[in-house]
Protein backbone atom coordinates (compact mmCIF):
# COMPACT_ATOMS: atom_id res chain seq x y z
CA UNK A 1 0.00 0.00 0.00
CA UNK A 2 1.28 3.46 -0.93
CA UNK A 3 1.07 6.34 1.55
CA UNK A 4 0.73 9.91 0.32
CA UNK A 5 0.39 13.22 2.16
CA UNK A 6 0.56 16.91 1.36
CA UNK A 7 2.76 18.68 3.89
CA UNK A 8 2.23 22.07 2.23
CA UNK A 9 0.57 22.95 -1.07
CA UNK A 10 0.05 26.46 -2.32
CA UNK A 11 1.57 29.55 -3.82
CA UNK A 12 3.36 30.16 -0.49
CA UNK A 13 5.23 26.85 -0.44
CA UNK A 14 5.05 23.19 -1.45
CA UNK A 15 6.21 19.84 -0.10
CA UNK A 16 4.59 16.44 -0.65
CA UNK A 17 5.40 13.06 0.89
CA UNK A 18 5.08 9.59 -0.63
CA UNK A 19 6.05 6.20 0.81
CA UNK A 20 5.98 2.58 -0.28
CA UNK A 21 7.62 -0.25 1.65
CA UNK A 22 11.01 1.13 2.73
CA UNK A 23 11.11 3.98 0.19
CA UNK A 24 10.28 7.48 1.43
CA UNK A 25 10.37 10.50 -0.86
CA UNK A 26 9.77 14.21 -0.62
CA UNK A 27 8.44 16.03 -3.67
CA UNK A 28 9.72 19.61 -3.48
CA UNK A 29 10.88 21.48 -0.39
CA UNK A 30 9.45 24.96 -0.80
CA UNK A 31 9.26 26.02 2.85
CA UNK A 32 11.90 26.06 5.57
CA UNK A 33 13.57 22.84 6.65
CA UNK A 34 12.23 23.26 10.18
CA UNK A 35 8.65 23.52 8.92
CA UNK A 36 9.07 20.39 6.83
CA UNK A 37 10.53 18.50 9.80
CA UNK A 38 7.59 19.56 12.00
CA UNK A 39 5.04 18.67 9.33
CA UNK A 40 6.56 15.22 8.88
CA UNK A 41 6.61 14.69 12.64
CA UNK A 42 2.89 15.52 12.74
CA UNK A 43 2.20 12.43 10.60
CA UNK A 44 4.82 10.35 12.43
CA UNK A 45 7.41 10.44 9.66
CA UNK A 46 11.14 10.89 10.16
CA UNK A 47 12.95 13.17 7.68
CA UNK A 48 16.26 11.43 8.39
CA UNK A 49 14.81 8.34 6.69
CA UNK A 50 14.02 10.11 3.41
CA UNK A 51 15.52 8.42 0.35
CA UNK A 52 15.29 11.47 -1.88
CA UNK A 53 13.99 14.95 -2.60
CA UNK A 54 12.50 15.24 -6.09
CA UNK A 55 12.37 18.78 -7.48
CA UNK A 56 9.74 19.93 -9.98
CA UNK A 57 11.26 23.31 -10.90
CA UNK A 58 13.36 26.20 -9.66
CA UNK A 59 10.79 28.59 -8.18
CA UNK A 60 11.45 29.21 -4.49
CA UNK A 61 8.08 27.90 -3.35
CA UNK A 62 9.27 24.49 -4.54
CA UNK A 63 13.00 24.38 -3.76
CA UNK A 64 13.69 26.71 -0.81
CA UNK A 65 15.18 24.13 1.55
CA UNK A 66 16.52 21.33 -0.67
CA UNK A 67 20.11 22.26 0.23
CA UNK A 68 19.38 22.55 3.93
CA UNK A 69 17.69 19.14 4.10
CA UNK A 70 20.41 17.55 2.01
CA UNK A 71 23.11 18.80 4.37
CA UNK A 72 21.18 18.04 7.55
CA UNK A 73 20.18 14.47 6.69
CA UNK A 74 22.33 13.48 3.67
CA UNK A 75 19.22 13.16 1.51
CA UNK A 76 19.83 12.55 -2.20
CA UNK A 77 18.47 15.18 -4.59
CA UNK A 78 16.75 14.21 -7.86
CA UNK A 79 16.58 17.07 -10.32
CA UNK A 80 16.99 17.77 -14.02
CA UNK A 81 19.92 19.83 -15.25
CA UNK A 82 17.78 22.74 -16.44
CA UNK A 83 16.33 23.18 -12.97
CA UNK A 84 19.67 22.65 -11.21
CA UNK A 85 21.31 25.34 -13.34
CA UNK A 86 18.80 27.84 -11.95
CA UNK A 87 18.96 26.81 -8.28
CA UNK A 88 22.60 25.82 -7.80
CA UNK A 89 23.61 29.35 -6.80
CA UNK A 90 21.09 29.60 -3.97
CA UNK A 91 20.96 26.16 -2.31
CA UNK A 92 24.45 26.25 -0.83
CA UNK A 93 26.98 23.46 -0.70
CA UNK A 94 25.70 20.07 -1.81
CA UNK A 95 27.81 16.92 -1.88
CA UNK A 96 28.05 15.81 -5.51
CA UNK A 97 27.61 12.21 -4.38
CA UNK A 98 24.02 13.04 -3.48
CA UNK A 99 23.14 14.66 -6.81
CA UNK A 100 21.05 12.61 -9.24
CA UNK A 101 20.13 14.12 -12.60
CA UNK A 102 17.11 12.80 -14.45
CA UNK A 103 15.90 13.59 -17.95
CA UNK A 104 12.39 14.93 -18.33
CA UNK A 105 9.98 12.41 -19.88
CA UNK A 106 12.33 9.49 -19.11
CA UNK A 107 11.59 7.07 -16.28
CA UNK A 108 14.03 6.43 -13.46
CA UNK A 109 13.97 4.32 -10.30
CA UNK A 110 14.32 5.27 -6.65
CA UNK A 111 14.37 2.00 -4.73
CA UNK A 112 10.78 0.67 -4.76
CA UNK A 113 9.35 3.44 -6.96
CA UNK A 114 9.46 3.84 -10.70
CA UNK A 115 9.24 7.59 -11.31
CA UNK A 116 8.12 9.25 -14.53
CA UNK A 117 8.90 12.99 -14.75
CA UNK A 118 6.73 14.61 -17.41
CA UNK A 119 6.99 18.10 -18.87
CA UNK A 120 4.49 20.76 -17.84
CA UNK A 121 3.82 24.20 -19.38
CA UNK A 122 5.10 26.74 -16.85
CA UNK A 123 7.48 29.70 -16.91
CA UNK A 124 10.51 27.81 -15.62
CA UNK A 125 13.55 26.21 -17.23
CA UNK A 126 12.44 22.58 -17.49
CA UNK A 127 9.47 22.08 -15.13
CA UNK A 128 7.95 18.67 -14.52
CA UNK A 129 5.20 16.82 -12.76
CA UNK A 130 5.75 13.30 -11.42
CA UNK A 131 4.00 9.96 -11.67
CA UNK A 132 5.00 7.27 -9.17
CA UNK A 133 4.47 3.59 -9.92
CA UNK A 134 4.49 0.86 -7.27
CA UNK A 135 2.26 -2.01 -6.14
CA UNK A 136 0.46 -1.85 -9.52
CA UNK A 137 -0.70 1.67 -8.61
CA UNK A 138 -0.03 5.11 -10.09
CA UNK A 139 0.13 8.32 -8.06
CA UNK A 140 0.52 11.61 -9.94
CA UNK A 141 1.31 15.14 -8.82
CA UNK A 142 0.96 18.03 -11.25
CA UNK A 143 0.96 21.71 -10.29
CA UNK A 144 2.18 25.00 -11.82
CA UNK A 145 0.41 24.35 -15.11
CA UNK A 146 -0.30 27.17 -17.55
CA UNK A 147 -2.67 25.17 -19.73
CA UNK A 148 -3.79 21.63 -20.34
CA UNK A 149 -2.66 19.82 -23.49
CA UNK A 150 -2.94 16.31 -24.91
CA UNK A 151 0.47 15.12 -23.74
CA UNK A 152 -0.08 16.40 -20.21
CA UNK A 153 -3.57 14.92 -20.05
CA UNK A 154 -2.17 11.57 -21.14
CA UNK A 155 0.29 11.64 -18.23
CA UNK A 156 -2.53 12.33 -15.78
CA UNK A 157 -4.71 9.49 -17.05
CA UNK A 158 -5.16 6.21 -15.17
CA UNK A 159 -3.85 7.62 -11.88
CA UNK A 160 -5.17 5.92 -8.75
CA UNK A 161 -4.67 9.26 -7.01
CA UNK A 162 -4.05 12.59 -8.71
CA UNK A 163 -3.05 15.84 -7.03
CA UNK A 164 -3.83 18.56 -9.55
CA UNK A 165 -3.37 22.31 -9.40
CA UNK A 166 -6.48 24.39 -8.72
CA UNK A 167 -4.71 27.70 -8.32
CA UNK A 168 -7.13 30.60 -8.72
CA UNK A 169 -10.64 31.77 -9.33
CA UNK A 170 -10.48 33.85 -12.49
CA UNK A 171 -12.92 36.51 -11.25
CA UNK A 172 -11.04 36.91 -7.98
CA UNK A 173 -7.76 37.25 -9.86
CA UNK A 174 -9.09 39.80 -12.33
CA UNK A 175 -10.72 41.92 -9.61
CA UNK A 176 -7.92 41.52 -7.09
CA UNK A 177 -5.00 43.72 -6.09
CA UNK A 178 -2.26 42.03 -8.12
CA UNK A 179 -0.52 44.33 -10.63
CA UNK A 180 -1.50 43.77 -14.24
CA UNK A 181 1.79 42.09 -15.31
CA UNK A 182 1.40 39.50 -12.55
CA UNK A 183 -2.24 38.86 -13.47
CA UNK A 184 -1.19 38.45 -17.09
CA UNK A 185 1.53 35.96 -16.10
CA UNK A 186 -0.80 33.85 -13.97
CA UNK A 187 -3.44 33.70 -16.73
CA UNK A 188 -0.90 32.94 -19.46
CA UNK A 189 -0.27 29.57 -21.09
CA UNK A 190 2.78 29.25 -18.83
CA UNK A 191 1.17 30.39 -15.58
CA UNK A 192 -1.34 28.52 -13.44
CA UNK A 193 -4.59 26.57 -13.84
CA UNK A 194 -7.78 28.27 -12.71
CA UNK A 195 -10.61 26.43 -10.95
CA UNK A 196 -12.68 26.11 -14.12
CA UNK A 197 -9.87 24.59 -16.16
CA UNK A 198 -9.14 22.15 -13.34
CA UNK A 199 -12.82 21.19 -13.18
CA UNK A 200 -12.92 20.59 -16.92
CA UNK A 201 -9.75 18.48 -16.76
CA UNK A 202 -11.00 16.35 -13.88
CA UNK A 203 -14.32 15.81 -15.66
CA UNK A 204 -12.45 14.43 -18.68
CA UNK A 205 -10.45 12.11 -16.43
CA UNK A 206 -13.57 10.94 -14.58
CA UNK A 207 -15.25 10.17 -17.89
CA UNK A 208 -12.20 8.02 -18.60
CA UNK A 209 -12.58 6.09 -15.35
CA UNK A 210 -10.57 7.93 -12.68
CA UNK A 211 -12.04 8.34 -9.20
CA UNK A 212 -9.65 9.92 -6.64
CA UNK A 213 -8.50 13.53 -6.80
CA UNK A 214 -6.83 16.14 -4.62
CA UNK A 215 -6.96 19.84 -5.45
CA UNK A 216 -3.75 21.67 -4.60
CA UNK A 217 -1.52 24.71 -5.03
CA UNK A 218 -4.33 27.15 -4.19
CA UNK A 219 -3.49 30.84 -4.31
CA UNK A 220 -3.57 32.64 -0.98
CA UNK A 221 -5.07 35.81 -2.48
CA UNK A 222 -7.16 34.56 -5.40
CA UNK A 223 -8.88 31.40 -4.20
CA UNK A 224 -10.16 29.62 -1.14
CA UNK A 225 -10.74 25.92 -0.50
CA UNK A 226 -14.54 25.98 -0.45
CA UNK A 227 -14.69 27.79 -3.79
CA UNK A 228 -12.18 25.48 -5.46
CA UNK A 229 -14.05 22.42 -4.20
CA UNK A 230 -17.46 23.79 -5.25
CA UNK A 231 -16.30 24.80 -8.73
CA UNK A 232 -14.81 21.39 -9.50
CA UNK A 233 -17.74 19.56 -7.87
CA UNK A 234 -20.18 21.45 -10.07
CA UNK A 235 -18.43 20.19 -13.21
CA UNK A 236 -18.92 16.64 -11.95
CA UNK A 237 -22.47 16.87 -10.57
CA UNK A 238 -23.67 18.72 -13.65
CA UNK A 239 -22.57 15.69 -15.64
CA UNK A 240 -24.18 13.08 -13.42
CA UNK A 241 -21.35 12.16 -11.04
CA UNK A 242 -21.85 12.17 -7.28
CA UNK A 243 -18.94 13.62 -5.31
CA UNK A 244 -18.46 11.55 -2.17
CA UNK A 245 -20.13 8.53 -3.75
CA UNK A 246 -18.82 8.06 -7.29
CA UNK A 247 -15.84 10.39 -6.91
CA UNK A 248 -13.43 11.07 -4.04
CA UNK A 249 -12.49 14.75 -4.08
CA UNK A 250 -10.54 16.68 -1.44
CA UNK A 251 -8.57 19.92 -1.12
CA UNK A 252 -5.07 20.04 0.34
CA UNK A 253 -4.17 23.28 2.08
CA UNK A 254 -1.31 25.74 1.98
CA UNK A 255 -0.31 25.64 5.63
CA UNK A 256 -2.01 22.53 7.03
CA UNK A 257 -0.58 19.05 6.61
CA UNK A 258 -3.14 16.67 5.18
CA UNK A 259 -4.16 13.27 6.38
CA UNK A 260 -2.27 10.32 4.97
CA UNK A 261 -4.02 8.94 1.91
CA UNK A 262 -3.66 5.19 1.47
CA UNK A 263 -3.68 3.88 -2.06
Residues 192, 167: contact at Cβ < 8 Å?
A: yes
pLDDT at residue 96, as a whole number: 86
* Interval 190-197 mean pLDDT: 97
Region 232-252: mean pLDDT is 96
Average pLDDT over residues 166-186: 96
Report whether 117 contacts 128 (CB < 8 A): yes
Span 223-237, pLDDT tens digits: 999 999 999 999 999
- For 124, the domain range is 3-262
> What's the CATH number where 136 sits?
3.60.15.10
pLDDT(89) > 90 = no
* Res 95 pLDDT > 90: no
Q: Which range is least confidently modeled, 84-93, 98-107, 227-236?
A: 84-93
- Nearest in space to 223 (alpha carbons), one of 63, 9, 16: 9
**How many folded domains does the chain comprise?**
1
Amino acid sequence: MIEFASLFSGSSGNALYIEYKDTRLLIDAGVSGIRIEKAMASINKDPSLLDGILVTHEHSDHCQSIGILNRRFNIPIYINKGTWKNVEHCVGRVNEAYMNFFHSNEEFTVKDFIVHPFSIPHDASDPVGFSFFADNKKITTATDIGHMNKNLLKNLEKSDLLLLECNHDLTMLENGSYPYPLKKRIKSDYGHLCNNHTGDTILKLVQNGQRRFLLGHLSRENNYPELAFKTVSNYLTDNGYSVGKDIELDVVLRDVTSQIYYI
